[in-house]
Amino acid sequence: MILRLYSLLVWVAGPLLRRKLRARALAEPGYAVAVPERFGHYTQPPGQGFVWVHAVSLGETRAAAILLAALRREMPGMRLLLTHGTATGRAEGQALLQPGDLQVWQPWDSAGAVRRFVRHFQPCIGILMETEIWPNLLAACRAAGIPVVLANARLSAKSLRQAQRLSALSRPAYGALAAVWAQTAADAQRLAEVGAPTPTVLGNLKFDATPNAEQLAAGRAWRRAGRPVVLLASAREGEESLLLQYLVSFRPLSQVPPALPATQLGVSDVQWLIVPRHPQRFDTVAALVVEQGFSLSRRSQWADGPQPAAVWLGDSLGEMARYYGLADVALLGGSFAPLGGQNLIEAAACGCPVVMGPSTFNFAEAAELAEAAGAACRVADMPAAVAQALAWLNAPENLARAAAAGPQFAAAHQGAALKTALAVKKFLV
């Protein structure tokens, strides 16, 4: 009865989804692409035997890329069906396709759309990345005899409470999974509490990512050309304002904050770099920087390197290794607003020390391990983050230790990709 009520609500909300997609397409044209796919109508010919991987957004798609590399090594000739929910995820996923692979939108979780999806593509297995649990989709796969697994699985304490409040709907959905491969023991415990089949801890796929060596080298070459660089990495809405408003408080820009000796580096001695998490906000953040009275230089306008300005804006996709190579210290986006933080593993692997704010629940164990390894430091708020960045810059030996600790920390926790690929392979033999 609960699933039927949910299905009715999802069906009624279908026109609202179409309206939302039209509105989002004004800022991100990718949302106007192949809209009928979201409702289970396809131009691709029917198929079968696909390994279906669902990576809803950009972060999950990057994790899926790590897993797919391992899957292709273990299962040469594998045909991939790759689905997404966001335009950034779909754009990133295009580079992962090989001849014979297909890429479509995730079906809207109406009973009709998911039945058409399952019937059209007939995957031999479904691999949902990290958190994506959809009641009708899982019910349709179970009815069709398609095993669906949750890979690189995580569940925060907040999400656990939400799932428990909707347990009549969430427990059958989690219970329909064929396997759950969790990032951490804490994730596994929470997933078991919501009814998932006994989770196995295989680790976090993102530890197996290899930074782009060319980008990293290029960023480091740019860094040597000027002042020390502090990066606000993968910034979420509101965090850029927190940083800029704090920097404005030093106007007229004194050489150092009051707590620092006059011989040490201060706010005005640092090159500030902001890289927003979402590309649709690039222009908004650029306008915000100018409104606060700072000169601005955008990555999209650089030819042979950064141009002089008080603030640099990283308005490009797929270049985080370049930005981490360019930066001496990174402030972790998503952690200074109550959003659970972003992935800090890539920064650590690039040898860029990380300053975290108080909110890291989406990457809780990685954050704790990075801090214990000396590759990251936690602070209470943005002013404290700026102070910590300056403290590292003014103690080169401490900064060097933190930078060296990052790659060691990342390498120590690798192995999830191979373990997950082998677990998938067992379902198919």
Write the single-letter amino acid at 118.
V
Angle formed at CA 219 by CA 218 and CA 224, multiple of 5 degrees: 100
Query: Which one of the listed residues 37, 60, 239, 346 is annotated catalytic?
Result: 60
What are the backbone dihedrals phi and psi of residue 396, each rounded to the nearest 5 degrees, phi first?
-55, -35
92 is catalytic: no
CA distance 350 to 125: 34
Handedness of CA 395, 206, 311, 238 (dihedral sign): negative
Helix, strand and coil in the chain, % to nearest 5: 50, 15, 35
Q: Closest Cα partner for 39 from 129, 90, 115, 94?
A: 115
Cα separations in angstroms, 21 against 103, 158, 200:
18, 28, 37
CA distance 349 to 411: 8
Angle formed at CA 225 by CA 221 and CA 229, multiple of 5 degrees: 85
Side-chain-side CA neighbours of 340 within 13 Å: the count stands at 11
3-state secondary structure of 413: coil
10 Å Cβ neighbour count for 18? 14
Tokens 């754009």 -> residue: 91
CA distance 53 to 123: 10
Tokens 């790659």 -> residue: 407
Length of the chain as a residue count: 429
Tokens 């949910």 -> residue: 6
Tokens 């759309």 -> residue: 113
Residues annotated as catalytic (active site), given as ranges: 60
